[in-house]
Structure 1
Amino acid sequence: MKTLSIATMLTVASLSIVPALASDNGAFNSDGATIHGRSEFALVSALHDRGVTATGVEAWGDLILAWVPNGNGGSTMVFFDADNLQQVNPNRG
């Protein structure tokens, strides 16, 4: 009986720790915020599916700004069209 109780407590503890870790990892805000009608999670996932390892996204006018690791310990701002997620130049005028 004690084993079941300890196992249950460990399961409950692990289930409450995982969401806390996910929200503190800096990758994206999972509080339901949307950018151009899409959740931040959906945008990061869609960019990942296209080979872009974004660590965060935000609205930048009618574009989506993604923070992408640059390999030198920093991040680079990369801009995407909000409709088709194609990379664009923000000075497209």
Structure 2
Amino acid sequence: MKTFSIATIAAVVALTIVPSFAAEYDNENDTIVGRSKTLVEVALRERGVVTSGLEEWGGLIRAWVPNEDGGTSMQFFDADTLQPVSPGRS
């Protein structure tokens, strides 16, 4: 019967845990239209728009904005200027 050293067990555990941390902090998940999601959220907040989520949507930024009644609505913003836009309109 083979026995495993503590170092071997620790290495196996580390190799299984590290990839999950790496995925959590993946830069791709933290950017939107090539910019930091946090900075986009801050810029929108400075314009009076508080968001609960952001994503790229057909060249625009789609934001989920909490309503006063407890719901959430979608609002769309130009990816460069962060000005509100209606999807499908140029």
Instruction: Give yes or no for TM over 0.5.
Output: yes
Question: Alignment RMSD, CA only?
Answer: 1.8
1:52 pairs with one of 31, 35, 49: 49
Equivalent runs, 1:34-53 vs 2, <5 Å: 34-53=31-50
Mean Cα displacement is larger for which, 36-45 or 79-88?
36-45
2:50 aligned counterpart, secondary structure? coil
Q: Unaligned regions of 5+ residues in structure 2, if any? A: 1-23
Q: Deviations over 1:58-81 (max 9, x none)?
A: 100100001101111111000000
Structure with max Cα Rg: 2
**Number of aligned positions between the proteins:** 65
Q: Within 1, Cα distance between the matches of 2:26 and 2:68?
A: 28
Identity of aligned residues (%): 54
Equivalent runs, 1:6-85 vs 2, <5 Å: 32=27, 33-85=30-82
Q: Unaligned regions of 5+ residues in structure 1, if any? A: 1-28
1:12 maps to: none
Moved runs in structure 1, 4+ residues, more than 4 A?
A: none
User: What TM-score comes out, normalization by structure 2 length?
Assistant: 0.65
